[in-house]
Structure 1
Amino acid sequence: MKTAIKLVLIYLAMQILGGLAVGPFAMIYAHIKYGSIERANDFVLAPALLAGFVFMVIYLWWQGYLTGDKQLYSPVSATYLFWSAIMGISMIFMIDFLMSHLTFLPNFLSDTFDVLQSGWLGILCVGILGPILEELLFRGAITKVLLKKYSPVVAILISGLLFGIFHMNPAQIVGATLIGFVLAWIYYKTHSLIPCILIHIMNNCLSVYLSLKFPDVDYTSDLIGEPAYTISLVLSVLLFMLSWRMMNTYKLSNTTTKV
């Protein structure tokens, strides 16, 4: 548990370090382009986020969390990836339904995401690079450590809770926790990050696409309307149950995780 919390705190520290590393260059660029450093914040966010990602990957690699485990990057069957995608899509839809009933939760990072999604580097960080790093950290390092100390159920619950709390944004914590449980369970079943990364990238990219394509729409129900939304929700629940069953019973050569 201490190691898991330590890794989360180190990641936050790496993000601060990324901001410190990129900040001076952003101020220089802003001064050259606008004659003032007041607009440096317009340029610093995405590069700082990317720098923080790089620093954290280097740290995880240097500390041996990402090396010495061949199963961590092992491929799974196309069938398993298919059901992973089905589970991911259905989970995304169900979380959207839940969050549409939790509208009282504030979104402290709304403006931050708007800035990130205004440029290609920010979109790349949110949609692809961020999910990859978070899977390396939360499943490849944190969940793996927890599984060595706790039972699978306890390890999955702690991992999901840490993943949710890590987002530190009330509007994200509930959804991140729920999908964190699922991703931790998939890692436990396969000991591979590949299906976890697939679901995470799919979730973030879909969120970015909908945010850019339909900026005035907050939830899927507002986008597709009734009765299509209710039918889609019921279908999502059924598909989630089916995909869970298929993924839980499917035999893989790399499903053994030592605990």
Structure 2
Amino acid sequence: MRSKSLPTINEVNILFLVLGLVLLIFGSMAQRRDLYTGVLITEYIFILAPNIIYLKMRGYSLKNVLGLNPITARQIIQIFFIMVFAYPMAVFLNYIVLVMVNSVSPAMPIGVPVPTNLIDYLIGLIVIAVTPGICEEVMFRGTMQSAYIRMGEKQAILISALLFGMFHFNLLNLLGPLFLGIVLGVIRYKTNSLYGSILGHTINNGIALTLGFVLTGLTENIQEITEQAPLIPEGLQLIITLVMLGSWALFSFVVLYLLLKNLPGPKDNSRVEHTMETVDSTWELEEMETDSYKISWAPIVVIAGIFIFLNYRYFFLI
């Protein structure tokens, strides 16, 4: 029955292409007028709604495809610490790209507005943390990863993470999301629940927003200290920053690895054992599909080409 099956790779590739083009054309227009309103429109109307509508119209079971299974209190706590230690690594990876791009062309990462008061901060949590956590996880760790599971769980996690990184269409924000996509993909697989990756995505964005909010209040003090401090050559500043971020990231990565390893997997969690057996049997019945049709990578190549063109034009032709 269709309701017990998963989307094909070709189907989700086409969906990825269509939504990528919609995001570029209409999402950017909406966000230029008002960032927060534009983000809500982009996430709920251009990402979440098409995924849900598509799955329902094709007759797929949302529970099976998205993995709408409960998670335990222990897993919630573990996911929190996993994302706390994943964040430094993502920052370090993005910083490496920034340094490399700056060696060729001046570039600065484009971030979201930093809240200056508690009300703006709470609104920011809803718009910047919770909203992408729900909408983007439905698409990438839900629809995309479920389809690519036919190629194996590791391949599904890696490919969906790569597509997640490209979907940001920003070279300076590619490696960080790609790494986080892998972490979220592992969480999705090991908990057998999209709620786990939604929680992780929300926590990551919440950390970034919270750090910006807190550091804004310290800006004046930092400026005073900087003005009184002796001048450090730019090259030395770069080295110091890389060493500090790298050390922080390396330590965090080791802890992250141990936390992910300790996160109960499908075989360790009796609560989801029956669900996994059901889904596994579905994959076995559909494994022959990958042999009966040729996977078309054209939609992915098109988006990759657009990604390369836009970033080359923005960073290297200015």
Residue of structure 2 in register with 1:172 after alignment: 173
Tell me by how many angstroms 1:134 deviates.
0.5
Relative distance call for 1:246 and 1:47 in structure 2 (3 A) is same
Does 2:38 correspond to 1:44? no
Tell me if the contact between 2:157 and 2:185 (Cα under 8 Å) persists in the aligned partners.
yes
1:123-162 superposed Cα distances (whole Å, 9 cap, x missing partner)? 5322210121000110111101111x21112111111111
SS of the counterpart of 2:174?
Answer: helix
Residue of structure 2 in register with 1:38 after alignment: none
Give 2:263's aligned amino acid: M
Matching of residues 50-199 of structure 1 within 5 Å: 50-55=40-45, 56-64=47-55, 67-69=61-63, 72-104=67-99, 105=101, 110=110, 113-114=112-113, 124-147=126-149, 149-199=150-200
Relative distance call for 1:58 and 1:96 in structure 2 (3 A) is closer
Distance in 2, Cα, partners of 1:172 & 1:18: 17
Relative distance call for 1:44 and 1:178 in structure 2 (3 A) is same
Relative distance call for 1:59 and 1:230 in structure 2 (3 A) is closer
Identity %, equivalent residues? 21
Tell me by how many angstroms 1:92 deviates.
0.9
Tell me if the contact between 2:134 and 2:198 (Cα under 8 Å) persists in the aligned partners.
yes
User: Higher Cα Rg: structure 1 or 2?
Assistant: 2
Tell me if the contact between 1:74 and 1:194 (Cα under 8 Å) persists in the aligned partners.
yes
Picking from 236, 241, 245, the partner of 2:257 is 241
Picking from 13, 17, 24, the partner of 1:5 is 13
Tell me by how many angstroms 1:210 deviates.
1.8
Relative distance call for 1:233 and 1:122 in structure 2 (3 A) is closer
RMSD: 3.5
Where in structure 1 are there 5+ consecutive unaligned residues? 24-40
Residue of structure 1 in register with 2:312 after alignment: none
Picking from 267, 272, 280, the partner of 1:254 is 272
Give 1:174's aligned amino acid: L
Tell me if the contact between 1:183 and 1:196 (Cα under 8 Å) persists in the aligned partners.
yes
Matching of residues 19-30 of structure 1 within 5 Å: none
Relative distance call for 1:73 and 1:108 in structure 2 (3 A) is farther
Give 1:58's aligned amino acid: A
Distance in 2, Cα, partners of 1:128 & 1:200: 8
Which of 50-59 and 232-241 deviates more? 232-241
Where in structure 2 are there 5+ consecutive unaligned residues? 1-8, 223-237, 284-318
Tell me if the contact between 1:143 and 1:155 (Cα under 8 Å) persists in the aligned partners.
yes
Distance in 2, Cα, partners of 1:67 & 1:239: 36
Tell me if the contact between 1:164 and 1:180 (Cα under 8 Å) persists in the aligned partners.
yes
Tell me if the contact between 2:161 and 2:181 (Cα under 8 Å) persists in the aligned partners.
yes
1:157-206 superposed Cα distances (whole Å, 9 cap, x missing partner)? 11111111111111210011111112112222232111111111111111
Relative distance call for 1:109 and 1:12 in structure 2 (3 A) is farther
SS of the counterpart of 2:98?
Answer: coil
Task: Give the aligned length.
Answer: 231
Distance in 2, Cα, partners of 1:234 & 1:51: 37
TM-score after normalising by structure 1 = 0.73
Distance in 2, Cα, partners of 1:207 & 1:88: 11
